[in-house]
Structure 1
Amino acid sequence: MSDNQSVSDEAILGEISSMCDLLGLRRLVPEKLVWQDRIYLGRGSSYPLPVDSVIAGRKKVILSTRMQAVLTPEEWKPLIGSSLLTASWAKPRALKVILGSILITVGIYVLILLLATMTSVLGSAASFLDSFVPLYVGLWVVFAAVISLYYDPSPYSAYLKADLQVAAILGTENFLATLKKIESMGFDDVEKRDMKTSKIKQPSVRQRIQNLESRVAAEPQ
């Protein structure tokens, strides 16, 4: 057992690797579980860690302190799976956004270059294009933003999609039992998130429950 890690902590760490294998993801074998309620970004900035979030990396896993001894390792599995799936989608989407926006911007640059060489003296084409550098930068930003909306759904929709995929593997009722147990604890941030309906941020526990319940309702009896 690692230093300062309980038997339960070790079991939760084991579920990370297990869920990676089950979901067909690159295997993570973190060595340490850290319980904390805020994620620190440097320079004194931080943000609160939702109680239903799991941040899993190669070396450590971060869970909310308030959830310590609340869920069993088995009950953590659906939350772990959903977080792993959501994280696995982020890098490919970011790559598509960057490459797509660059290709479109370069395409426009080449088009303007052709027009410049055909409609002006060849020697002045370069200076003509140089004057449009700010425009190209602006276009790249615009295209990156537009493509990101297509390829990069909000955390809200990504989590709900991941929840459904994990529920199909582990069982919807098992996932619902975990979420309802969290909801029953009456954590302040859970109740506050339930009152907010923003579809940009991570969904609330209640919204995740409703999403899974809609799946159950849609299944043939």
Structure 2
Amino acid sequence: MVRKDRVRVMSWVMEHANDNLRILENAKQLCYQLGLPNFITNVRWTDLIDYRSIKIGEPREGEKGVRRVPSYQPLVLHDQVILAERMIDKLSPEEWGPLIASSLIYEKKLSTERHAKFAKDMALPILAVLGALALTAFLRYVWLYIVLGIFVGPGFVIYGALRYGTNQTRLRLEADSETTKVLTENSLLDVLSKIQSLGLKEEADRFDGTPSIMQRIDNLQAPKSEV
């Protein structure tokens, strides 16, 4: 079944080579508008991606490291723009532009900020854990090591994952807001509203920080604060 789907996608790409080329050229033009190097060389269509190897192949849903490509959120990986396969024929090449622009801003212009924010959020918990370990070693309370291992360790991992997801969500929404300053103000909102009207069943991943389509729409519709 997966093989048939891949053949169908390849057949569509060949039949719509001009559309795919227009999406690629639009992505390159967006790099220029955003002041980024012209690094995009390919547009790929797939519903699943393996984040462990960053290879576009035939990963199976449910496998470790495998995630669904959101229908409303293109991914920018290395020199490729990754689009959800289930969105084939749903949008015109021009309609993909605002979505790709937001992804470019998030991945390339906000990357330093998101790494710095995550490091800052994790600094205090890390110091607290190290302090607890040092105190435990000093007092020689072996049972405290067990408590730390059972409760603090997993709690630290969960906290880190939640903070990471929260920061990613905030920055993705910030990228949407920045997109409206570069492109036509309502272009991104119009495309997201169109995708929403398709009635696709999409679930945001809280841990990887991808906001839901309604979060993105609400963010763009929110009144802009006056400076």
Q: TM-score range by the shorter chain?
A: 0.5 to 0.7
Is the aligned partner of 1:36 residue 2:46? yes
Number of the residue aligned with 1:165: 178
Mapped partners of 1:24, 1:104: distance in 2: 41
Q: How many residues align?
A: 197
Partner-residue secondary structure (3-state), 2:73: coil
> Shift of the alpha carbon at 1:179?
2.1
> Shift of the alpha carbon at 1:99?
4.9
Is the aligned partner of 1:79 residue 2:99? yes
Number of the residue aligned with 1:10: 21
> Shift of the alpha carbon at 1:35?
1.3
Is the aligned partner of 1:134 residue 2:146? yes
Number of the residue aligned with 1:103: 127
> Shift of the alpha carbon at 1:15?
4.2
Mapped partners of 1:176, 1:144: distance in 2: 35
The answer on whether the counterparts of 1:101 and 1:147 sit within 8 Å (CA) in structure 2 is no
Which structure has the greater CA radius of gyration? 1
Number of the residue aligned with 2:190: 177
Give aligned-pair identity as a percent: 27
> Shift of the alpha carbon at 1:144?
4.6
Mapped partners of 1:44, 1:147: distance in 2: 24
Deviations 1:124-154 (A, max 9, x none): xxxx255533334442443454455456417
Partner-residue secondary structure (3-state), 1:153: helix
Residue 209 of structure 1, aligned match among 197, 201, 217:
217
For residues 18 and 208 of structure 1, do their structure 2 counterparts lie closer, same or farther at Cα, with a shift above 3 Å needed? Answer: same
For residues 132 and 24 of structure 1, do their structure 2 counterparts lie closer, same or farther at Cα, with a shift above 3 Å needed? Answer: farther
* Alignment TM-score, normalising by the size of structure 1: 0.63
